[in-house]
Amino acid sequence: MAKNLFQKVWDGHIVQQLDSGQYQIFIGLHLIHEVTSPQAFGMLHDKGLKVAYPSRTFATVDHIIPTDDQSRPLKDDMAEQMIQVLSDATEEHGIEFFPPESGSQGIVHIVGPELGLTQPGLTVCCGDSHTSTHGAFGCIALGIGTSQVRDVLASQTLAMDPLKVRRIRVEGELAVGVTAKDVTLHIIRTLGVNGGVGFAYEYAGSTISAMTMEERMTVCNMSIEGGARCGYINPDQTTVDYLRGKERVPKGADFDKAAEKWLSYASDADATYDDEVVIQAAEIQPTVTWGITPGQAISIDESTPDPELLEGLEKALISDALGYMKIPANTPIKGTKIDVAFLGSCTNGRLSDFQAVAKLLVGHKVASGIKAIAVPGSEKVDAEARALGLHKVFEEAGFEWRKPGCSMCLAMNPDKLVGDEVCASSSNRNFIGRQGSSTGRTILMSPIMVAASAIEGKVADAREVFGLK
């Protein structure tokens, strides 16, 4: 029977069906970090349990690590303790750990793919909702809570309900200045922040097929913002080419054998889906958020909504969101004054993101009074960017080039907004208080739009600022 990728990978990883109706699923790759995992080791310890398959778990530090001075002990005692607990636990349980200055540290969702740990057909999980990123390789990639991190450490399995699969076909060529980030913001805007509940999203169609792996990761990364439990893209030659030569993939003839297997996980041509949505690439414009959820997004040429045209809870929600953002109703979003520009995160902190921006940034300067930071997603991204001289381009334009980490995406480290500052951000969440100040304001957009906004000091259209045609 024809199957889609989700069904193939899911069926292959079933250990058993549980009495509750859930399935026990084997987890092929488990990634852990310092914020949601140390407590799980405590839970294991309390129950006298060991890590069942330590070679299938990998650890790094990303959420809390400073991006300026990473020398140990960290100035923040609790941050230091969290990293130490993780480091000790990995040593005790025989788990491979990529600490700062190992050359492989970074945001967990950037590290997995760049090392080649993330491979098609795997079940991947991590105590972080943006684990959906790994779906770009044709994985079932699930964000999980700490008790589930415990479950995976102790048993290498999870109890899970099966998901429905919605195929989202994006068809056609993206216009100049429209990026993978705009595609994902457009999808979330169209289907809603809870439109994906109960679903895995399969992203397909000619637009997706034409994307690089890095672009595909951006799209899959934000599946969770659309409510989907995970998102994936069928492995193809682009996937195989990306993985070739990566540190942790098979070599030589073994690679060819692996590649053949990887490609076999792709959805069958006659596979069926629980739902299908078609989006025309031509409809997608550079997209930015105006509110407090990633679905509260509009194209750069649109105006903010008018709550007076709505009723009841909808009216209150729109009105409250605009009120929090201190952005007027029914007003063009372009031109909204910003204070901070943040380039980085698991959504847009890969080499290609910095390359795309650097190419445009030459000859431009960040507007005066704007704090602009560029945070590479990993030590590898940092090293590659430095080797290409990209860091100099950013610094000459007025960006600070930082050390790798999650940084101002969730601001658990010292990189935080102050007061009600407005941040043009390449990250994934514009929730209230997300960037470290309870009154801080976030406007999500693509990396080139962040750069354009940094130069103008206000929300700007990259196509105009950089003369893209």
Please list every residue from 423 through 442 that binds another protein, using CB under 8 A: 429, 431-434, 436, 438-439
Asked if 405 contacts 66 with a C-beta cutoff of 8 angstroms, the reply is yes
Q: Is 166 in the site for another protein (CB under 8 A)?
A: no
In whole angstroms, the minimum distance from the beta carbon of 14 to another protein comes to 8
In whole angstroms, the minimum distance from the beta carbon of 432 to another protein comes to 6
The pair of three-digit structure tokens given for residue 287, joined into one six-digit string: 């997209």
Q: Which stretch binds another protein (CB under 8 A): 67-75, 147-155, 174-182, 360-368?
A: 147-155
In sign, the C-alpha dihedral spanning 169, 175, 179, 181 is negative
- 358 vs 408, which CB is nearer to another protein? 408
Asked if 363 contacts 88 with a C-beta cutoff of 8 angstroms, the reply is no
In whole angstroms, the minimum distance from the beta carbon of 241 to another protein comes to 23
- 146 vs 303, which CB is nearer to another protein? 146
Nearest alpha-carbon partner for 149 in 280, 260, 39, 24: 39
Describe the strand order of the beta sheet including 96-98 as a list of residue ranges.
Answer: 96-98, 57-60, 29-32, 123-126, 140-143
Q: Is 264 in the site for another protein (CB under 8 A)?
A: no
Which residue of 82, 140, 338, 343 would you call a contact of another protein, by CB under 8 A?
82
In whole angstroms, the minimum distance from the beta carbon of 63 to another protein comes to 8
Which residue of 113, 120, 143, 235 would you call a contact of another protein, by CB under 8 A?
143
Which residue of 54, 76, 272, 388 would you call a contact of another protein, by CB under 8 A?
76
In whole angstroms, the minimum distance from the beta carbon of 270 to another protein comes to 25
In whole angstroms, the minimum distance from the beta carbon of 317 to another protein comes to 6
Asked if 248 contacts 115 with a C-beta cutoff of 8 angstroms, the reply is yes
DSSP-derived letter for residue 378 is B
- Contacting residues for 164 by C-beta, under 8 A, at least 6 apart: 198, 199, 200, 274, 275
Nearest alpha-carbon partner for 33 in 136, 139, 111, 102: 111
Size of the site for another protein (CB under 8 A): 75
Q: Is 155 in the site for another protein (CB under 8 A)?
A: yes
Q: Is 181 in the site for another protein (CB under 8 A)?
A: no
Q: Is 372 in the site for another protein (CB under 8 A)?
A: no
Q: Is 22 in the site for another protein (CB under 8 A)?
A: yes
In whole angstroms, the minimum distance from the beta carbon of 19 to another protein comes to 6
Site for another protein in 112-141 (CB under 8 A): 127-129, 131
Site for another protein in 290-319 (CB under 8 A): 292-293, 295, 313, 316-317
H helices present in 143-279, as ranges: 146-155, 180-191, 206-209, 213-221, 237-243, 252-264
In whole angstroms, the minimum distance from the beta carbon of 151 to another protein comes to 5
In angstroms, the first-to-last Cα distance of the chain is 47
In whole angstroms, the minimum distance from the beta carbon of 313 to another protein comes to 7
Which residue of 13, 216, 380, 391 would you call a contact of another protein, by CB under 8 A?
13
d(CA 331, CA 349): 31
Exposure string over 195-212, b if 16+ CB within 10 A, otherwise e: bbebbbbbbbbebbbebe
Print the binding letters for residues 374-413 with another protein: x by CB under 8 A, - otherwise. Answer: ------------------------------------xxx-
CA 410 to chain centroid, in Å, comes to 12
The C-alpha angle 179, 175, 406, rounded to 5 degrees, equals 5
In whole angstroms, the minimum distance from the beta carbon of 78 to another protein comes to 4
- Alpha carbons within 13 angstroms on the beta-carbon side of residue 334 total 14
Which residue of 11, 68, 101, 161 would you call a contact of another protein, by CB under 8 A?
161
- Alpha carbons within 13 angstroms on the beta-carbon side of residue 263 total 10
What's the one-letter identity of residue 421? E
- 125 vs 448, which CB is nearer to another protein? 125
Q: Is 67 in the site for another protein (CB under 8 A)?
A: no
Site for another protein in 203-232 (CB under 8 A): 224, 227, 229
